């Protein structure tokens, strides 16, 4: 068991606000309300202390793919993101044939049962060929509820989210099916109208997959899905804050219109995150990563990101000028609530997992703790 620790002196971001010179007590793998007699003492003066990040949309990292990698490779990808503050990660797949996706779900469900990942997100194949992005058009299919059910069953209770183009045949019925089984129905890679999007929300959809990306632009006569997703309080909007996927004005529009409690910052990361430029495979498609930007070799579409959530945090505060408390909510509390895990992660409260991130005064990452153990030790940084 990890030794007990008392972390003092930092600016601590709690659900109730920012506490200057705060104190967080770690007893074993949990946050405690009082310090045990024997403990280590660590002064973090001049630093920020925030909850570990929760990423609900992540395809890989460290040179490893969650869609096609071996168990060892998937774990390497998970560890890569832990080094950047993501202490809870959902493994996202990309479009593939149904048999292959079902097999992948079986493997990933075992890692979820072991606690290595928080669950599985199926992004595709139930998406629009008009908005396919970096997905293989030949493998796309309509969201037949029976097919959707096959993937849910293959995940053995570990499916957390399915992204669908809900305007396609079977889309609304599939949303209802997902809602009935406690799986998040996310609207994305969609060509839906405003009205069709409203119908999907009423049927039970609760997430907008990477808002703005892979969907019609906001129009003054045809507002499309963006307006419907932003205006509805039942929807949490995913945002990729890497400076590539979104113009700063679009990010600000979404953050301030939806409100800090309805935003989840995600990475949508692929293999190159935390690894470097080069050629990679995203499902069956080849990707070229240059200067940290991933694009399909054929066609040039953006193919996920190389983002890590520590960079998303730093950019949100120092470039976009967003409030620290709101950014923490978007990186930790909001996605934890979506996953039904807020009783365990997402904030620095007694009884929860001791998952936390130490940042310096410029919001650069200096330490990461997961379940009471330092993944990145701030004393060695």
The arithmetic mean of pLDDT across residues 232-256, rounded, is 96
Q: What is the pLDDT of residues 103-149, one digit of tens each?
A: 999 999 999 999 999 999 999 999 999 999 888 899 999 999 999 99
- Tell me how far apart the alpha carbons of residues 372 and 135 are, in angstroms, rounded to a whole number: 38
What predicted TM-score, i.e. pTM, was given to this entire model? 0.97
Superfamily (CATH) of domain 53-338:
Metal-dependent hydrolases (3.20.20.140)
pLDDT digits (tens, 9 = 90+) for 334-367: 999 999 999 999 999 999 999 999 999 999 999 9
Give me the CATH code for the 5-50+346-376 domain, please. 2.30.40.10
Mean pLDDT across 230-241: 98
The pLDDT tens digits of the residues spanning 11-67 come to 999 999 999 999 999 999 999 998 877 788 999 999 999 999 999 999 999 999 999
For the chain, percent of residues with pLDDT exceeding 90 = 90
pLDDT the model gives residue 38:
79
195: Cβ contacts below 8 Å, ≥ 6 apart: none
Q: How far apart are the first and last CA of the chain?
A: 23
Distance, in Å, from the CA atom of 159 to the CA atom of 223, rounded to the nearest integer, reads: 31
Residue 32 CA to chain centroid, in angstroms? 27
pLDDT of residue 56: 98
Reported as a pLDDT band with limits 50, 70 and 90, residue 1 is low
**pLDDT > 70: percent of the chain:** 99
What is the SS3 string spanning the chain?
A: CCCCEEEEEEEEEECCEEEEEEEEEEECCEEECCCCCCCEEEECCCCEEEECEEEEEECEECCEECCCCCHHHHHHHHHHHHCCCEEEEEEEECCCCHHHHHHHHHHHHHHHHCCCCCCEEEECCCCCHHHCCCCCHHHCCCCCHHHHHHHHHHCCCCEEEEEECCCCCCHHHHHHHHHHCCCEEEECCCCCCHHHHHHHHHHCCCEECCCCCCCCCCCCCCCHHHHHHHHCCCCEEEEECCCCCCCHHHHHHHHHHHCHHHEEEECCECCCCCCCCEEEEECCEEEEEECCEEEECCCCCECCECCCHHHHHHHHHHCCCCCHHHHHHHHHHHHHHHCCCCCCCCCCCCCCECCEEEECCCCCEEEEEECCEEEECCCCC
Residue 381 binned pLDDT confidence (cut-offs 50, 70, 90)? low
Task: Tell me the residue length of the chain.
Answer: 381
Place of tokens 């009783």: 343
Q: How many whole angstroms from its chain centre is CA 38?
A: 37
Is 302 within 8 Å of 294 (Cβ atoms)? yes
Model confidence over 174-187: pLDDT tens digits?
A: 999 999 999 999 99
Q: Where in the chain is the domain with CATH 2.30.40.10?
A: 5-50+346-376
In whole angstroms, give the CA distance from residue 319 to residue 42.
30
Residue 147: per-residue pLDDT: 97
268 is catalytic: yes
Read off the pLDDT band of 285 (50, 70, 90).
confident
pLDDT for the residue 37: 78
Q: Is pLDDT at 3 greater than 90 in this prediction?
A: no
The catalytically annotated residue of 191, 268, 310, 353 is 268
What stretch(es) of the chain map to CATH 3.20.20.140? Answer: 53-338
Is the pLDDT reported for residue 5 higher than 60?
yes
Residue 172: pLDDT over 80: yes
């Amino acid at each position: 068991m990890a030794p007990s620790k008392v972390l003092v002196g930092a600016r601590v971001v709690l659900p109730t606000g920012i506490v200057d010179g705060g104190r967080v007590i770690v007893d074993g793998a949990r946050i405690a309300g009082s310090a045990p007699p024997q403990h280590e003492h660590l002064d973090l003066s001049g630093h920020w202390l925030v909850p570990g990040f929760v990423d609900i949309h992540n395809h890989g990292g460290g040179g490893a793919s969650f869609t096609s990698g071996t168990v060892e490779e998937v774990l390497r990808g998970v560890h890569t993101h832990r080094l950047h503050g993501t202490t809870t990660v959902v493994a996202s797949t990309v479009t593939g044939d149904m048999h292959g996706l079902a097999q992948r779900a079986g493997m990933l469900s075992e890692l979820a049962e072991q606690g290595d990942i928080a669950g599985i997100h199926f992004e595709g194949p139930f998406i629009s060929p008009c908005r396919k992005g970096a997905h293989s058009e030949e493998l796309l299919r309509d969201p037949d509820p029976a097919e959707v059910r096959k993937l849910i069953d293959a995940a053995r209770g570990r499916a957390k989210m399915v992204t669908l183009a809900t305007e396609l045949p079977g889309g609304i019925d599939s949303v209802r099916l997902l809602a009935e089984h406690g799986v998040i129905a996310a609207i994305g890679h969609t060509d839906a109208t405003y009205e069709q999007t409203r119908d999907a929300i009423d049927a039970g959809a609760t997430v907008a997959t990477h808002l703005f990306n892979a969907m019609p632009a906001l129009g003054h006569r045809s507002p499309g899905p963006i307006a419907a997703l932003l205006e509805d309080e039942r929807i949490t909007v995913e945002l990729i804050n890497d400076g590539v996927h979104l113009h700063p004005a679009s990010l600000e529009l979404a953050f301030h219109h939806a409100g800090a409690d309805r935003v989840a910052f995600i990475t949508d990361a692929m293999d190159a995150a935390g690894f470097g430029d080069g050629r990679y495979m995203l499902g069956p498609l080849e990707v070229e990563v240059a200067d940290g930007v991933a694009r399909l070799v054929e066609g040039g579409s953006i193919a996920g990101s190389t983002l890590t959530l520590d960079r998303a945090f730093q950019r949100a505060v120092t470039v976009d000028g967003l409030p620290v408390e709101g950014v923490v909510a978007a990186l930790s509390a909001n996605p934890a609530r979506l996953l039904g895990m807020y009783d365990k992660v997402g904030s620095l409260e007694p009884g929860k997992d001791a998952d936390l991130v130490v940042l310096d005064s410029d919001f650069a990452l200096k330490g990461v703790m997961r379940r009471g153990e330092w993944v990145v030790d701030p004393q060695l940084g």
